[in-house]
Structure 1
Amino acid sequence: MNFAKITLLQIEYFLAVAKYLNFTEAAKSLYISQPSLSKQIALLEQEIGTPLFLRGKRNVHLTPAGEVLFKELRGIKEGIENAIDKCRQAGLGENCTMTIACLDAMDTAMFLPEIIKRFRKQYPNITLFFERHTFKTLREKLINGSIDVVFTLSFEIDDALGILYEEICKVNSSIVMSSQHPLANREYLTLEDVRGENFVLITRDESPRGFDSVINVCRKHGFTPHIVKQLPNVESLLLSVELGIGITLFDSSIRVHNKNELKFFKIEDDIISIVMAWRKENLNPAVPLFVNSVLNKTF
């Protein structure tokens, strides 16, 4: 017997006839014609290989086989409906929570408020929580699953196993120096112009790829940077630059509080992507809803 030929529709029809013990009434309840109903019941009986009903002139009765089938299947419709309802609720993310995080130094005003506004309008029952973290902490929390979605720089999650990501926008990296630096009054500045300067960088432990990217872009321009200090976080890095300890390279999405104390010079040939990343195995139903909401909007 090929059970694949028995359809859920036939089971629904069987349950209706078993309930009413009348083909006419069962057909009315199903909003179909009686001949269509009779045909499907006959096909079901043919597939099972035994009669399910004793057909009289006015009413029908279940055969012993029909009694067994009815007893076994009468809860199946409710079970299917409950399963579909649960699936629908999960698909809609009803009563879910989701944690979104970004780099502590990232200026998210360029993209995040609009994303969140649109998502909350689409899914008002999903509760969102927000966090900011340093490079290393953000990376670790994404990988261990304590954060659902992160906004970070592409080099932070390149080649990370089990992590999916999509580009949100592109930004240039910049030479960042104190506004009191002798070169700060120039209108334009290139990396070749700062080859003899002292550099301060985020520690390699905090951001291995970020550290290496600075080295690589400098070497691309013909020199290896003279690093005088490595700092554990962006706030310390910017303070050191502001106080004239050295210059640094950073992306233009950086959030700066004392803008008048720093000067930025765009590096035209060094472009970095801001990405949205999430774990492939994250089972939170709100995550695909959020990802699709973001990707359906071009920034």
Structure 2
Amino acid sequence: MNIERLEYFSTLAAYLNYSKAAKQLYISQPSLSKQISQLEKELGVPLFNRSRHMVALTPEGQECLHMVRALLHDYQQLKSWAEEKAASQAIPSIRIGYYGTLLKDIVLAVVEGFLTRQPNMDILLKNDSPYEVITALQNDVVDLAILRDGYCTSLKNLHREKVCTMYQYLLVPEHHPLARRSSVCLSELKNENFITLFQKDSPQGHDDMVLLCRKYGLEPKISHRCDDPFSYTMMIQSGQGLGIAHAYKNSFIAGIKFVSLTCRREDLTSDIMAVWKKEDRRTGGVLLTKTIRDICRQIPDLDESPSGREQDLR
């Protein structure tokens, strides 16, 4: 008797349909039928009554189902316990990929979360463009990526957990008249110049800004494009134009005022996600998943008005 055969029995008992159960188990219908017949032969009792139009549990099958489900539950508990114990002894490090200045805001909180749980763990950080981070995750160069949600929605075979929410704000030079405002409508900015990052360097940041403006009837006059966030902030600080970027609670950049945009809340938001592989043999999938989810749920949401901390601008 093996666990897989018992899982087949439990699934068929749930669906009472060979075709649906086989589809759920990703096996062929004849294979499922053969496994059930072998289990009945092994136990020496009929588990199902079969006809052309229906499948039903026998009285023996109903009794067996209660015991099998309890056994499968205990098996999963044992498997999780064993994997967690093995992983806790086998994880010498965690490799985290991210981009921009997220280190101070999100990555630092994640790092602290890991070190609280495993003080001797080595933390390796890789700062790169969004697509390079994704490639590193897919190629097992990093174990965990911190990314904007838009960069990872189409990726397969990955776990994703929300870390926090960001909102788009207007970035204004501190001596600009708009810097004294607490909020601004996009329609007021038709005569203003804008600074952006190149679309190739920050595709989501660039596109979010342009699409938001157009949605509210503003075609932004882009006077300068920059290839890195430091040049971007310097151009705004020097009064060459305004910017629109996602910010966190307590964000701060010297010489720049963050002004709220009077847009619908859902048009301004972007989630930061923790992303990791479902099957991670190096770190132990069960422990990694549990730890990351625990850490993410303990990080407070950073979606209030900005003031006081440096900000990622990509």
Q: TM-score, normalised by structure 1?
A: 0.62
Name structure 1 gaps, 5 residues minimum. 6-46, 48-83
Q: Is the 8 A contact 1:155 1:210 kept in 2?
A: no
Q: Is the 8 A contact 2:198 2:225 kept in 1?
A: yes
Change (3 A) 1:210 1:120: same
Q: 2:270 aligns with which of 264, 269, 272?
A: 272
Distance apart, 1:260 and its partner CA: 3.4
Q: Map of 1:72-151 to 2, 5 A cutoff?
A: 90-106=86-102, 108-109=104-105, 111-124=106-119, 126-151=121-146
Q: Is the 8 A contact 2:186 2:218 kept in 1?
A: no
Change (3 A) 1:234 1:4: closer
Structure 1 residue matching 2:178: 3-state secondary structure: coil
Q: Is the 8 A contact 1:98 1:287 kept in 2?
A: no
- Please tell me the residue identity of whatever aligns with 1:98: I
Specify the alignment match of 2:282 in structure 1.
Answer: 284
Aligned equivalents of 1:286, 1:145: Cα separation in 2: 13
- Please tell me the residue identity of whatever aligns with 1:273: D
Q: 2:192 aligns with which of 186, 190, 197?
A: 197
2:134 is the counterpart of 1:160: no
Name structure 2 gaps, 5 residues minimum. 4-41, 43-79, 301-314
Question: Percent of counterpart pairs with the same letter?
Answer: 18
Aligned equivalents of 1:141, 1:254: Cα separation in 2: 29
- Please tell me the residue identity of whatever aligns with 1:243: S
- Please tell me the residue identity of whatever aligns with 1:154: D
Tell which structure's C-alpha radius of gyration is larger. Answer: 1
Specify the alignment match of 2:211 in structure 1.
Answer: 216
1:165-224, CA deviations, whole angstroms, 9 ceiling, x for partnerless residues? 211111211111211223222232222222332112121112223222111111111122
Structure 2 residue matching 1:212: 3-state secondary structure: helix
Q: Is the 8 A contact 1:143 1:163 kept in 2?
A: no
Q: Is the 8 A contact 1:95 1:127 kept in 2?
A: no
Specify the alignment match of 2:309 in structure 1.
Answer: none
Q: Is the 8 A contact 2:83 2:284 kept in 1?
A: no
Aligned residues: 219
Q: Is the 8 A contact 1:94 1:125 kept in 2?
A: no
Change (3 A) 1:160 1:244: farther
1:45-90, CA deviations, whole angstroms, 9 ceiling, x for partnerless residues? xx9xxxxxxxxxxxxxxxxxxxxxxxxxxxxxxxxxxxx9995664
Q: Is the 8 A contact 2:98 2:107 kept in 1?
A: no
Q: Is the 8 A contact 1:174 1:249 kept in 2?
A: yes
Structure 1 residue matching 2:239: 3-state secondary structure: coil
Q: Which runs of 4+ in 1 moved over 6 A?
A: 254-257
Aligned equivalents of 1:201, 1:281: Cα separation in 2: 38
Q: Is the 8 A contact 1:164 1:278 kept in 2?
A: yes
Aligned equivalents of 2:2, 2:270: Cα separation in 1: 52
Q: 2:256 aligns with which of 249, 256, 262?
A: 262
Q: Is the 8 A contact 1:168 1:276 kept in 2?
A: yes
- Alignment RMSD: 3.3
Aligned equivalents of 1:201, 1:120: Cα separation in 2: 37
Q: Is the 8 A contact 2:174 2:257 kept in 1?
A: yes
Change (3 A) 1:245 1:134: farther
Q: Is the 8 A contact 2:157 2:278 kept in 1?
A: yes
1:7-29, CA deviations, whole angstroms, 9 ceiling, x for partnerless residues? xxxxxxxxxxxxxxxxxxxxxxx
Aligned equivalents of 1:139, 1:108: Cα separation in 2: 20
- Please tell me the residue identity of whatever aligns with 1:192: S
Aligned equivalents of 1:166, 1:139: Cα separation in 2: 15
Specify the alignment match of 2:76 in structure 1.
Answer: none
Structure 2 residue matching 1:98: 3-state secondary structure: strand
